[in-house]
Amino acid sequence: MENITVTLGERSYPIKISSGLFKDPTAFLPLKAGNQAMLVTNKTLAGIYLNRIKDSITKAGIKIDQIILPDGEQYKTLSVMEQVLTELLHKMHGRDTTLIALGGGVIGDLTGFAAACYQRGVRFIQIPTTLLAMVDSSVGGKTAVNHSLGKNMIGAFHQPISVIIDIDCLKTLPSREFSSGLAEIIKYGIIIDSNFFIWLENHLDEILALETAALTYCIRHCCELKARLVSLDETEQGIRALLNLGHTYGHAIEVEMGYGNWLHGEAVAVGMVMAAQTAYRLNQFSVVDIVRIKKLIMRAGLPVNGPSSMSPKSYLPHIIRDKKVIAGELRLVLPTAIGKSELCIGLSKEVILTAITDCYN
C-alpha cells in the first residue's frame, strides 16, 4: 500500500493507495467499533461497490446507514445536498458521525460540503472511484455544489479525515470518464513538474492500458504534488491557485453547455490550451510547448477546441463571474513553460478573447 500524508497540523490525514482496499476493514481507520457513519453514493456505483464496502465497515463494528443519490453533474445542487442532511436527521446522526463519500468528484464535493454544514461540521472520508477524483478532487478539502450561474460557487474548505484510493475501481470506469481524469494529471506536469510531463509523454500508453505499475505511480505522484501544495496553502491564497490552470475557461464551458454535457476534464483540457494560447499572446509561452500540450491532450482522448455551439464572446460573462476575480480584476493561471506557471492579474478581456478565438480556428 502507498501512503501519503497531507500535512495540516492537527487536521493532517492519510491518503491510502492500493488495490483491493475495499475488502480490508483496516483501510477505514480512524473509524472505530461503535462509531456511526453515513455512506453517500450514486445509483450507478451502488450496484457495484456498495455491499462490499458496507460489509467491510460493518465487520469493523461500525453502524452504517446509506443514501443513494442520482448520478450526474446536474445533481450537484443544494437541493440534492439537502437530501443528505435530511437523511442524517431522520437517522439521528449526531456530531460524532462520519460521512463517507463513495464516488467521483460530484459525490465527493457534495458529501464534503454536507459534512462541513451538518451540525456545524462533522468528519468525512473520501473514497474516490474516478481517476479525476483520485488525483485531484478528493484531496485538499475543497467542497461545494454548483449554481446555475457558476460552478462550485457554494461551498467550504473542509478537510477529510482520510482518502482511500482503490485503483481496482478504474477497471469499471467508462473510457470517457477515464480520459476526463487524464486532463487533471496532465495539468500537474504543465504547472509544476516538467519531468512528470515528459514521463507522461513516454508512458501514456501504459496508463491507457490500465497497467498497474504506471497507474499507481501516476496517482501517487499527483497526490504527492497536490498534498504538498495544500500543505503550503490550504485555502488557496497563493501557490495552491496554480491548480486552477485551465479551470476558469473550463468552468465557462461547463456552465454554458449545461452541467454534465461536457465532462469536467474535457472542459479543463480545452481550458489548458486556452491558457497556453493566452500566455503565448502575452509573449511568455512558446508555440513548441503549445504543440506538445495539444499532442498529449489529444493522445489522452480529450478535446483541444471549444464547443462549436459556443462563441468566443460567450466565455467572457462566466470568466468575469469566476471566483478568482478580485476587485474586478481578472486573475488567470498561465504557464510560462512546461513545468512552470504563475497567477496573472489584470489581464485585458481583449487578450483573453483573442486566445479563446485561437482555439476555434
Catalytic: 244? yes
Please tell me which residue in 54, 240, 281, 292 is annotated as part of the active site. Answer: 240
Give the DSSP H/E element, type plus range, for residue 82: helix 78-90
Whether 182 and 205 have beta carbons less than 8 Å apart is answered as no
Q: What are phi and psi of 338, to 5 degrees?
A: -70, 120
Please tell me which residue in 73, 177, 234, 236 is annotated as part of the active site. Answer: 236
Please tell me which residue in 76, 123, 142, 151 is annotated as part of the active site. Answer: 142
Please tell me which residue in 16, 54, 264, 281 is annotated as part of the active site. Answer: 264
Please tell me which residue in 76, 247, 281, 294 is annotated as part of the active site. Answer: 247
Spatial separation of the C-alpha atoms in residues 67 and 80, rounded to whole Å: 11
Catalytic: 184? yes
Catalytic: 226? yes
Pair type for strands 13-18 and 36-42: unpaired
Please tell me which residue in 226, 294, 318, 331 is annotated as part of the active site. Answer: 226
Please tell me which residue in 10, 120, 283, 350 is annotated as part of the active site. Answer: 120
Spatial separation of the C-alpha atoms in residues 77 and 66, rounded to whole Å: 19
Residue 293 neighbours by CB distance under 10 Å = 23
Pair type for strands 150-157 and 142-147: antiparallel
Secondary structure of 86-153 as H, E, C letters: HHHHHCCCCCCCEEEEEECHHHHHHHHHHHHHHHHCCEEEEEECCHHHHHHHCCCCEEEEEECCEEEE
Catalytic: 120? yes
Give the DSSP H/E element, type plus range, for residue 218: helix 212-232
3-class SS shares of the chain: helix, strand, coil, % to 5 = 55, 20, 25
Catalytic: 203? no
Catalytic: 247? yes
Catalytic: 142? yes
Please tell me which residue in 35, 220, 244, 318 is annotated as part of the active site. Answer: 244
**Which triple of cell numbers denotes residue 167?**
485503483
Catalytic (active-site) positions: 120, 142, 184, 226, 236, 240, 244, 247, 251, 264
